[in-house]
Structures are given as C-alpha cells and as structure tokens.
Amino acid sequence: KHPFIIHTDKMDTKVLGTSFNVQAYPGQATQEVSVLTGRVNVKSTVTDENVYVTPGQKAVFKSKNSSLHAFSNIPMNSISLWRKNIIVFEDTPLPEVIATINRNYNIAISVENKNLNNLRISAYFKELPADQVIGLVCNIINANYKIESGVYRIQ
C-alpha cells in the first residue's frame, strides 16, 4: 500500500523488498542503482523508461543522452563495497573522483590545474585515510597536492 520510493532528479527507484545501492550525486554524468538482494523498479523521470533490477544487475541513467539501461553480471561483492569503506573507480572522470572523496571523507579538495579534469581514473581504495587516497590519486594523474587553510589543493 505504501511503497518505498527514492526520488532523484533523473530517476525514481521503487523498493520491492531488497538491499541495494543508489549513487545519484549532483554533477555526476551518471546515476546508478545496483541490487544485492531482492528487486527494484527504476523509472526515468526524464524519458519514462522503466527497468526492473535484480541481484547482480544495475540500472544506469546517463545524463548526456538521457538514457536508462540495465546491465547484468555485476560482481556481487562490488555492489556492497561502500558498506566496507571501499571506494572503487572504473574509468571515472577526475571531477567525480574528487566529489566522491570529498563526500566520503568530509574534506575539501580543489583541483588547481583544470587540465587534470579531463583525466579518468580506475582505482580501488580500501579503508585508507584521506591523505593517502589523495596522494595515490595524485600519483595516478602525475600531480602533487598541498594543504592550505584545510583545503587539499591538487596542482
């Protein structure tokens, strides 16, 4: 009678008895819903496309072309990694990597060299402190960082 629905600006996800993960943050090129157990229904609020997502699947809404697609064979352990303080980036644009680190560690990071924003990162970070994660990201993109007034500045 009273379904649990998660509303984002691009999708509505109806929970049908399940455990799942929704990644829908402002400024990201995609929004995703992945299912660990049960089933959810994901409906685009932009195009009215509609997909059911079951364990090992995910729905991805791409803002660039306003499309909603379902993907199968998602490794089950990758769906719940966020619960274990594990961050995974797969060919992720640097601005999204920075936004994720900002959210997860509640810190401020500024990319001073805007040319770096065109880079994409694939990495796996397990229970690392913020300064180590930022240091590793800088190693990947061949940059340095310094802390000024509590802000990590990547150059």
DSSP string, 104-123: HHT-EEEES-GGGGG-EEEE
Give the end-to-end CA distance of the chain in Å, rounded to a whole number.
53
Phi, psi of 109 (to 5 degrees): -125, 135
CA–CA gap between residue 47 and residue 49 (Å, rounded): 5
Weakest mean pLDDT among 9-13, 17-21, 148-152: 17-21
* Count of other CB atoms within 10 angstroms of residue 40: 25
Residue 6 and residue 15 in contact, taking contact as beta carbons nearer than 8 Å: yes
Architecture of the domain made up of 85-154: 3-Layer(bab) Sandwich (3.55)
What is the Cα gyration radius of the chain? Answer: 17
| pLDDT at residue number 60 | 92
**Given pLDDT bands bounded at 50, 70 and 90, which one contains residue 30?**
confident
pTM over 0.85: no
Pick the closest to residue 68 from 17, 33, 118 (CA basis).
33
Domain ranges of the chain: 4-74, 85-154
Asked if residue 44 has pLDDT above 90, the reply is: yes
> In the predicted model, what is the mean pLDDT of residues 78-97?
81
Going by CATH, does the domain composed of 4-74 fall within 3.30.70.980? no
